Every structure is written in C-alpha cells, then in structure tokens.
A and B are shown apart, each in its own frame.
Chain A
Amino acid sequence: MTASEISFFILAVLSVAAALVVVFGKNIVHAALALVLTFCSVAGIYVLLDAEFLAAVQILLYVGGITILILFAIMLTSRISGGGVRILNEQVGVSLVVVGGLLLLIVSVLWNASFAGSAPPPVQTTPYIGRLLITTYLLPFEVASILLLAALIGALILARKEKE
C-alpha cells in the first residue's frame, strides 16, 4: 500500500464515521461538531485529488462559515437536551429501504462502469481555475454573486423581528 492509499483509507473511514454521528447523534451540538470532522476529512480527500484550492475553500467556507452559522442557530433555538428525546421520526423503516436501494444502485452501476483515461500528472490548478472563472465561466460567476446578494437580503428579512 502506498502513502496515498493509506491516507485515503483513513480519511474515508473518518468521514463516514463522522457522517454517521451527524445523522444518529443524540445531541445536536455533537452532530454539528461531527459535521466539522466530515468537512475536514473531505478537504483532506480534495488534497489527495490535487485540488488544493477547493480544499482551502472547503475549510474556509464550510468549517469556518456554515458550521458556525449552524451552531449559532442551534444556540438560538433549541434547549440543548441530552438523551431521552427521540431524534428520528417514524419513517425510519421506509427510509432505510429507499436509501439502501439507492446505495445498492449507485455501487452496482459504479462496479460495472469503466472510465476511459487514467489520471494525468498533477498540475498547478489554482491559476487555471481563476482564469476559467473570469473567462469561460464569467456569466455563472456573476449570477452566483447576484444569488448570494438575494440570499443575504432574504435571510435578513426572514430572521428580522416583525414590528408591533
């Protein structure tokens, strides 16, 4: 086993275990902290895939931004309670069947698929991504900025206390 295979295996096990804690964790704060671990291991897998820029974006935006936002929302809403409270609704059986079927489908399709081409030698990706974003993907880039502005204003209006 090479170093990259070993690190992939460790990161994969870590991310799946943390994802299971996110879904089945009794305490919602623990689930949010496990989410941080999942995001970090996915960022590690991005590094293995030679996508350093995306790994940095993942850490900055997901770990630094979204998780903090989620923790704030948890603190503002729920009374933090430990065990005793039911965390899953009564659809567990049906969901298990649906999700198991989906997973089986994904794995069986991937098992039989063969993809042409093998990995080319790694290149420095960050400058190319920057160039793509301001040339080929300029329009989606601007649309994304408008989407962010709209989401910002929408979130403000939704979260604001109504007068009177």
Chain B
Amino acid sequence: MVPLHSYLILGGILFAIGMFGALTRRHAIGILMSIELMFNAANLSFVAFSRYLPESALRGQVFAIFVITVAAAEAAVGLAIVLGLYRNFKTVNVDEINLMKW
C-alpha cells in the first residue's frame, strides 16, 4: 500500500512545477496550461485525503468535482481572453502586452 505522504508530496511537486510555469512562461496559453497543472495537483491531494482519512466520507472527491467544474469554466473564459488579446495586439506573449505598464 502506498503511504498517504507519497501522494501528497507528488501533489506538492506538481504544484511547484505548475507555479514555476505560471510565473515564467511568456506564452499566454502556456500560463493557462500551468494553471491547469496546479489545479490537478490540488485535486490529487483532495482525492488522496478522501481515500486515506475514513471520516472524510468522500467530501474530498466531491470537492474535486467542483474544482474540475471551475477549471473548465476558467479555461473557456481564459482562452476567449487570449483570442481577444491576439485580435487586438497580434501577439500572445504576455510580456509584450504592456499598454498599462508605466
């Protein structure tokens, strides 16, 4: 049986990788993909807790379903924003979109 700590540490590693991508990618869609990685890492921890702590009574899995729902909504709106950015600026690199930067 794999101990609970292994799942949680794997979730932590995936979260850190996703966060690094979200902070450093120049491509706007790359940032969105990194954010999806972070969602997945959080979900992994939720599901692992819900499996290993018996009194949780599947609350972790239900919460993970809601996280997936919100992630889908976020992806749809985020990609629509990326399309709008490309239409107005002809680029999707977020560090070239600095109209409001002083």
Contacts and interface: CB of A to CB of B under 8 A. Distances in A.
Contacts of B62: 129, 132-133, 137
Interface residues of A, number: 83
Contact of B92 (A77, A115, A129, A151): A77
Interface string A58-100: 1001100110011011101110000000111101100110111
Nearest to A25: B30
Contacts, number: 220
Given A95-B20, A137-B62, A151 B37 contact: no
Given A51-B51, A54-B64, A117-B53, A155 B30 contact: no
Contact of A78 (B2, B14, B19, B92): B92
A95 to B, nearest CB: 4
Is chain B's interface secondary structure helix, strand, loop, or mixed overall?
Answer: helix
Is chain A's interface secondary structure helix, strand, loop, or mixed overall?
Answer: helix
Given A76-B83, A148-B69, A91 B23 contact: yes
Interface residues of B, number: 69
Contact of B10 (A15, A46, A99, A128): A15
Given A69-B76, A110-B12, A159-B83, A147 B23 contact: no
A110 B10 contact: no
Given A8-B2, A73-B29, A110-B12, A159 B64 contact: no
